[in-house]
Chains A and B, each alone.
Chain A
Amino acid sequence: MPQLPMVASLPPGPYYGALAEFATPADLYHACEQVRDAGYRRWDAHTPFPVHGLDRAMGMRRSPMPFIVLGMALLGAAAGFGLQYWVHSVEYPLTISGKPYFAWPAYVPITFELGILFGSLGAVFGMLGLNQLPMHWHPLFSSAPFEKASDDTFFISIESWDPKFEPEKTRQFLQGLGARRVELVASE
């Protein structure tokens, strides 16, 4: 199933979407399976900790993080090796304790370290970029119960620009999945 990109702008209309509250990871897991099977596409689960297997229950694709990190790590290693080669063979050739200018075994540690450095920066900033963070304002933060999403409560949000979203129908659908409580969140 194609995933719609997460876009950092507001959906049109009075509602951001519907927000359903669940008590346990098990309730959330089964509800997610049903939201997925009902064909919703622009929706999300919110949990205080990563729930094992929820990606599959939501029908999500694998994260593209490994490719970003691999690319950055190779770039860092190439930059590290290139810097050392350039300094000792091109820009500033100087004989020190009889070592050759192009002493490639001696370049291995710094090549490795810079590969790790770039890869790690790629992991952190790649993750933030894919997640569109930092985003300090979000319509969901206007919901008081949503504060517990970082403590002990589990949520499903279905956004109003999902093609299948209809305020009342979506609310009843979520209620039917065993939600403790469902609310419609305003756009602003």
Chain B
Amino acid sequence: MPPEAEAAVLDNPVDRRPELILRSPTFKAITDAVVDPIEKPTPLGWWFFFLPAVALLGLLGVAVSWLFWEGIGIWGLNVPVGWAWDITNFVFWVGIGHAGTLISAILYLLRQRWRTSINRAAEAMTIFAVMCALLFPGIHVGRVWVAYWMFPLPNQMGTWPNFRSPLLWDVFAVSVYGTVSALFWYVGLIPDLATMRDRAKTKIRRIAYGIFALGWRGSNRHWSNYESAYLLLAAMSTPLVLSVHSIVSMDFAVSQLPGWHTTIFPPYFVAGAIFSGFAMVITLMVICRTAFKLEHIITIRHFDYMAKVILLTGSMVGYAYGMEFFTAWYSGNPYEMFTFTNRALGPYAWAYWTMISCNVLFPQVFWFKRARTSIPILFLLSILVNIGMWFERFVIIVTSLHRGFLPSSWGYFRPTIWDVSCLLGSFGLFFTMFCLFVRFVPMVATAEVKTVLPQADPHYQPGRGHAFGAGHTETV
């Protein structure tokens, strides 16, 4: 269906709820559409993405090996700026990791049925983004062989970590988030792995998928516990996802540094995380729906909704940028005021205005439906938003550090080739994992998509049109 015709489906949502999945497919057609590409031989196009990603992953291996050998001096860190791209990258990746759980958990609790088309890929994206994120605190300690000091493990020195420090809260928040996201994703995968097992043509595939499908046989007595467990996981992931980026923001907010020491950080960071995460989901889904011919499952309407979330969270982030300046002025604290003037007009003004343009100005085009339903605009904007969100973290971290209380120790951070290699390498890790995911695992949750088809309702009667929920609130 051409985009204009699909956009027409968006109209008139009051009289009639348009179907979430276009072309009225049968249950089998959903399975086929999602699973066929995984069962066919690897397409050439996949290698186009996979090989560069693996090359970048190799670059990460080189950069990290050199880092371990030589120490963090290979990065451009200096005395006022002791934290730069390492933590920027960490916060950037954790933020991207937030959209997956938002889509899976919060939209699930809110009964937003459109989430079923994109939740699997978004959850996978979350796990890979959290992997990239966890890499940076792991390597930025320099002496990676003592990274276990971050965990409360009994050791020969008789020491214990300081639980009163936000940095330790962060260790717990991000590792719990990674674990729970992986569990949530795997639980959602079990029925689809059973589908892969049952369709397998070769013995190796049957055994490989069969092991992970755990002997799932679609029993309704199992579904009952399964759905209850899934709902509870969603209910627990919702406060979890909000806590994770709040705690990340406390790494900064609990310190006394002007530019960091502010109470707006937790909600501001969470909004920014959802903003960047949804942008990354759009980037990936634009490519995947075309590559795997899933335009009828991941429809223009899904992008329309995601663009609205981006507009909302982008505006919240824009409000936070403004509010930070107001608070700095209203505090009457000269150091606080200087930090913010320096951010907008100082040596890093170029980074600040890149951030403002990408995060606040450009997303305003999403007020227009034409922009929200145009794939090229969505794709371009999603990349700009992620550039902007990377710069946001850079601006917060580096501009607050580079001109401290003592002008004699002011400095300027310049990245080295190893800073750049670590950032590019983390993208290599992310895209390698994502390529393997779309190649071997159903990238759409078929069991869940089937439940939003009209004929999935046991009271559906053919010929009465789109009758899902007839007699319930949806037709009121």
Q: Do A and B bind each other?
A: yes
Contact present for B220 and A26 (CB under 8 Å): no
Q: Which residue of A lies closest to B183 (CB)?
A: A124
Contact present for B220 and A44 (CB under 8 Å): yes
Contact present for B220 and A63 (CB under 8 Å): no
Which single member of B166, B195, B218, B247 contacts A47 (CB below 8 Å)? B218
Complex contacts, A124 vs chain B, CB 8 Å: 183, 186-187, 229, 233
Q: How many residues of A contact B (CB 8 A)?
A: 73
Contact present for B220 and A46 (CB under 8 Å): yes
Complex contacts, A63 vs chain B, CB 8 Å: 224-225, 227-229
Which single member of B159, B215, B247 contacts A136 (CB below 8 Å)? B215
Q: How many residues of B contact A (CB 8 A)?
A: 69
How many Å from the CB of A78 to the closest CB on chain B?
15
Q: Mark B171-191, 1 if CB is under 8 A from A, else 0.
A: 011001001100110110001
Q: Mark A32-72, 1 if CB is under 8 A from B, else 0.
A: 00000000000011111111111101101011011001000
Contact present for B163 and A44 (CB under 8 Å): no
Q: Which of B408-416, B423-431, B454-462 contacts A (4 or more CB under 8 A)?
A: B454-462
In the complex, whether B448 has a CB less than 8 A from a CB of chain A is yes
Contact present for B451 and A147 (CB under 8 Å): no
Q: Mark A7-41, 1 if CB is under 8 A from B, else 0.
A: 00000000000000000111011100000000000
Q: Which residue of A lies closest to B244 (CB)?
A: A113
Q: Mark B353-375, 1 if CB is under 8 A from A, else 0.
A: 00000000000000000000000
Complex contacts, B226 vs chain A, CB 8 Å: 50, 127, 131
Contact present for A117 and B224 (CB under 8 Å): no
The DSSP consensus for interface residues of chain B is helix
Report the separation of the CA atoms of residues A130 and B221 in the bound assembly, to the nearest whole angstrom.
9
Which single member of A58, A109, A135, A155 contacts B243 (CB below 8 Å)? A109
Do A88 and B163 contact each other (CB < 8 Å), given the known contacts A26-B459, A117-B180, A133-B216?
yes
Report the separation of the CA atoms of residues A103 and B266 in the bound assembly, to the nearest whole angstrom.
21
Contact present for B215 and A135 (CB under 8 Å): yes
Do A113 and B172 contact each other (CB < 8 Å), given the known contacts A96-B164, A138-B217?
yes
Interface centre among B197, B211, B226 (most CB of A within 10 A): B226
Q: Which of B26-34, B90-98, B136-144 contacts A (4 or more CB under 8 A)?
A: B26-34
In the complex, whether B219 has a CB less than 8 A from a CB of chain A is yes
Residues from 205 to 238 in B contacting A, C-beta threshold 8 Å: 210-211, 214-229, 232-233, 236-237
